[in-house]
Amino acid sequence: MKRIAIFNADEEKEPLKQWGDFADMAVTMLEASRDSSTPEVEYKIFQVYRNEFPTLEELKDNGYIGLYITGSDYDAHDLETGWINKLRQFLRVMLHEPGYPPMTGVCFGHQIIATTMGCKVAPNPAGHEGGIAHLAVTDSAVEAGLFQKPEFDGPTKELYLSELHNDIVHEVPEGYINIASSEKCPIQGLYKKGLALTFQGHPEFITEAAIKCGESNYENGVITARELAEIRETGELHGNDGVFFAEYIWKLFKREI
């Protein structure tokens, strides 16, 4: 049986406990987006925030078709925490040497891949982004065949995704493209054919989860009452394309993109 490695980068969060930890949510999303032509896979979870890593050699064979890096409350630009530094070193090898499976990362996972590539990750001058955000798919992503809904007559240019972040990636690494932008975040993800596809947002968050996180952030003084109201409003007004985005994670892992 083929395998997907999941690098879980944080413990379970109270507002999200009904859905499990970030790794559990990743598995739920991937299974929801796996089509009938894709055989079942084994999900191998590594608690990297506890310094639990496989060896690089283990990922080079043993049937691994992809690596998924979860979100986290940790900062991807942290240079002091041991496991984060180790993760960057690990990813640097996978991104620059042949023979490893392609990778995807969400939120922290997106940002840690960017910092591994030497890009700046820092707080967003526009502030916190939460709820369901409107994403404008870039022309480069359309040209690469990403995130296109066949039921539309023309190119798919607008989608919606759960967001929960204060930091952003400030630059696109050489050889990659930016997949989308939102009002608050100009770089919503990175893509390089056959190697990596990342998301600043959380495709694994259903809308209810995004709202729960907003409510928790309000209770903890992270966001204002007005920001919470906006998060709730976006959840009511917009759909959530998380599972659709996840279909492209499968395409990456199957080497179709």
Burial of 167 (0-12, 13-18, 19+ CB in 10 A): middle
**Residues belonging to the active site:** 107, 202, 204
DSSP 236-256: HH----HHHHHHHHHHHHTT-
Whole-angstrom Cα distance, residue 18 to residue 65? 29
Q: Where are the beta strands (DSSP E) in 74-208?
A: 103-106, 121-123, 129-137, 158-165, 167-169, 177-178, 180-181, 190-192, 196-199
Structure tokens at 98: 């042949």
Whole-angstrom Cα distance, residue 240 to residue 134? 10
